[in-house]
Each structure stands twice: as structure tokens, then as C-alpha cells.
Amino acid sequence: MDLSVINPAVLAASLMVAATPILLAAIGELVVEKSGVLNLGVEGMMIIGAVSGYAVSVNTGSVFLGFVGAVVGGAMLALVFGVLTQVLLSNQVASGLALTLFGLGLSALIGESYLMVRPPPVGDLSLGPLADIPGLGKMLFRHDVIVYLSLALVGGVWAFLRYSRWGLILRAVGESHDAAHALGYKVIRVRLAAIAFGGACAGLGGAYLSLIRVPQWTEGMTAGAGWIALAIVVFSSWKPVWVLVGAYLFGGVAVLQLNLQAAGVEVPVEYLSMSPYLITILVLIIMSTGRGRSALNAPADLGRPFHAPA
């Protein structure tokens, strides 16, 4: 197979863009799961973010406000899940799936009047001379703001979980809600905050699709990205940096297979189309051969309901 036709710098630039929606949703979900909550409704929150961001930016003429709208929209939908699972103690898996169903339906209802409308344009962030560095410039310094924001979020979440007091509390709640409760932490409030944050990130990822990548509102436009984000969180064994690796790996293989086709490399298309999923599984297997690693890293109370003993 002749790989010389693929320019790595160009490929890297493409994969960063391709992976950004998944990365945003996944880093949000990581925080949710770290707090001990499993929200399978990522797809629903993403698409609500996509439509609310689109609607707000069309109505206000501001892309920035659009992204704010997406964050709010995603977080609000997430809080529906939050109330169900934290206050009413509903089953998390089922609530998350219901959230996806509801989000897909609601987004299409909201979006009906925005079908043929065009969003305001987004300017690239100008990084001045950095963008002109040969190779590296195109690869790293010619993206839109959200790409950098997603990277900053990964760093922020990593630092937050590792070094901040609140991060410690969040992890404690996820590891053992009973112990955290005994220590006087407000388990439910912490989890609600984490759920809202997850929704906000997913919403941002959705709006990245509707406002920058596509940009147009069409029904069902997230087309399964939320599920991939969920898979990436598991893949990362709940470590922020590995979420980045996973999202870029997945995005990279997805982009690479299309590039190979475009370059006319002769590999059967069906194998190429499966490759992102198969390679992700393969890497996971290799990572999990360090016996029990991924299982040990899962927050101990993930998915378990919490009810404060009276």
C-alpha cells in the first residue's frame, strides 16, 4: 500500500476538525461518569445543542451567542436527566436512552423553521505568524476557536480533576457516594452539576457541527456521533488525556480511510469503512492486556443510584 500520497500535516489538520465534536462530547461525559453517573443520552444532548445553537445564532446574528445557546440547551436537557436520575432515582441507562429519543424528536420540532436558513459566518482565529510556519502552521494554527477550546477543555478537566478541591470531591462522589455523603458532601448537587456540565459540552459539540462543520441545520445531523463519544470515554478508561487520544485516533482513522480512497489506494471500501471501529477495539484490547486496568479505573459507583439515608 502506497502511503506516500498522504500528507501527514494535512491529515493531522483534518483529523483535528473531524474529531472536535466527539472530543467535546466525550470530555463532558467523562466528568459525568467520574461523578458516578452514566448518561447514555449524549446523542440527544448533542443534537439539541446543534439546533439550539443554530436557532440562537440565526436569530441574533452572532455565532458566539449561538454557542452560548447550545451550551444552555444541552445543559437544560441534561438536567431533565439529572432530575430523573438524581431526584427521582430513575434507572440511568433507560433514562439516558429516553433522553436521546426525546432529544432527537424535540430538535426536529424546533428545527422545522430553520431548515433553509443560513447561519452567520465564522471567522478563523488568526494566529498571525504562527499560521505561516510551513507544515506545522497548517496543521496546528489555522483552526477555528472551538478546536482550541476543545483542547483547552481537555487540559482544564485534567487539571480540575487532578489538582482542585472540587475535582477531588467529584471523584470521591463517583468512587463512593455513601462515604462522600458521610463526609458531608452534597452528593446530588455535585452530580447535578456534573450532568449539566456534560450536557453543556455535548451541546457545544453539536453546535460545532451545525454552525461550523456543516453549517446548516438538518434533522438527525449528529448521525451517531454521541454514541462514538460514549465509546471514547470507556476507551480512555476515564482519563482526560486518553479521551483526546481516543477521539483523535478515531477521527484520524476515519479521515485516513477517506483519504486513502481519495488518493485511489486500492483497499476494499467495506474494510476501510469498518476500520475506525475495528482499530479502536484493537487498541483497547492492547491497552487492557495490562490485566484489569480498565476495570480498576471505572468510578466504583458508576451507574448506581444514590439515596441519602435519612
Partner 1 sequence: MKTKLLAAAAISLGIAAAAAAQEKTKVGFIYVGPVGDLGWTYEHDQGRLAVEEEFGDLVETVYQESVPEGADAERALTQMALGGADLIFTTSFGYMDPTINVAAKFPDVKFEHATGYKRAENVSTYSARFYEGRAVIGHIAGKMTKTNRIGYIASFPIPEVIRGINSAFIHARKANPDVEFSIVWVNTWFDPAKEGDAAQALVDQGVDVIMQHTDSTAPQAVAKDAGIYSFGQASDMATFAPEPRISSIIDDWAPYYIARVAAVMDGTWESTDTWDGIGPGMVEIGEMSEVIPAEVRADAQALSDSIAAGDYHPFTGPINYQDGSPWLGEGETADDGVLLGMNFYVEGLTGDVPN
Partner 2 sequence: MIRLERRPQASRLWAAATPLVAVALTMVAGSALFGFLGKDPFISIRTIFWDPLFGEFAWYYRGQLLVKAGPLILIAIGLSLGFRAGIWNIGAEGQYIVGAICGAGVGLAFYPAGFWFIFPLMIVAGAIGGFAWAMIPAVLKVWFNTNEILVSLLLVYVAEQLLASVSLGLLRNPDGAGFPGSRNLRQYEAASNAEIIAGTGIHWGVVTALLAVIFAYVLLSRHMLGYQIRLAGASPRAARFAGVRPNLLIVFCLGAGGALAGLAGLFEVSGPSGQISIDFNSGYGFTAIIVAFLGRLHPIGILLAGLLLALTFIGGEAAQANLGLPASAIQAFQGMLLFFLLAVDVLASYRIRLGSPEAA
Q: Is position 109 an interface residue for partner 2 (rule: CB under 8 A)?
A: yes
Interface region with partner 2, contact rule CB under 8 A, candidates 108-116, 125-133, 172-180, 207-215? 108-116
Q: Which of residues 212-271 bind partner 2 (CB under 8 A)?
A: 219, 224, 227, 230-231, 234-235, 270
213 contact choice in partner 2, partner 1, none (CB below 5 to 8 Å, kind-dependent): partner 1
Q: Look at the alpha carbons of 80, 216, 225, 233 in this order and tell me if their dihedral is positive or negative.
A: negative
Considering beta carbons, is residue 129 or 268 the nearer one to partner 1? Answer: 268
Q: Is position 213 an interface residue for partner 1 (rule: CB under 8 A)?
A: yes
27 Cβ contact partners less than 8 Å away, ≥ 6 residues apart: 150, 153, 154, 157, 201, 240, 243
98 contact choice in partner 2, partner 1, none (CB below 5 to 8 Å, kind-dependent): partner 2
Using alpha carbons, select from 309, 2, 46, 16 the residue that is nearest to residue 179. Answer: 309
Distance of closest approach, residue 227 Cβ to partner 2, in angstroms: 6
Give the integer Cα–Cα distance in Å for 218 and 51. 9
170 Cβ contact partners less than 8 Å away, ≥ 6 residues apart: 31, 34, 35, 161, 190, 194
Q: Is position 216 an interface residue for partner 1 (rule: CB under 8 A)?
A: yes
Q: Which of residues 272-301 bind partner 2 (CB under 8 A)?
A: 273-274, 277-278, 280-281, 284-285, 288-289, 291-295
3-state helix, strand, coil in the chain (%, to 5): 75, 0, 25
Among 262, 278, 296, 308, binds partner 1 (CB under 8 A): 262
Considering beta carbons, is residue 115 or 308 the nearer one to partner 1? Answer: 115
Query: DSSP letters of 65-134?
Result: HHHHHHHHHHHHHHHHHHIIIIIS---HHHHHHHHHHHHHHHHHHHHGGGTT--PPP-PPPP-GGGGGST
Using alpha carbons, select from 30, 43, 39, 41 the residue that is nearest to residue 242. Answer: 30
* DSSP 8-state class, residue 241: H
Q: Print the binding letters for residues 225-254 with partner 1: x by CB under 8 A, - otherwise.
A: x----------------------------x
Q: Print the binding letters for residues 165-204 with partner 1: x by CB under 8 A, - otherwise.
A: ----------------------------------------
Q: Which of residues 69-88 bind partner 2 (CB under 8 A)?
A: 80, 84, 88
Residue count (the chain): 310
Q: Are 79 and 239 in contact (CB under 8 A)?
A: no
233, amino acid identity: V
Q: Is position 294 an interface residue for partner 1 (rule: CB under 8 A)?
A: no
Assigned C-alpha cell, 111: 428545527
- Three-class secondary structure of residue 61 per DSSP: coil
Q: By CB under 8 A, name the binding residues for partner 2.
A: 80, 84, 88-91, 93-95, 97-99, 101-109, 112, 219, 224, 227, 230-231, 234-235, 270, 273-274, 277-278, 280-281, 284-285, 288-289, 291-295, 307, 310
Interface residue list for partner 1 (CB under 8 A): 5, 7, 10-11, 14, 17-18, 21, 108, 111-112, 115-116, 118, 209, 213-216, 218-225, 254-255, 258-259, 261-264, 266, 268-270, 273
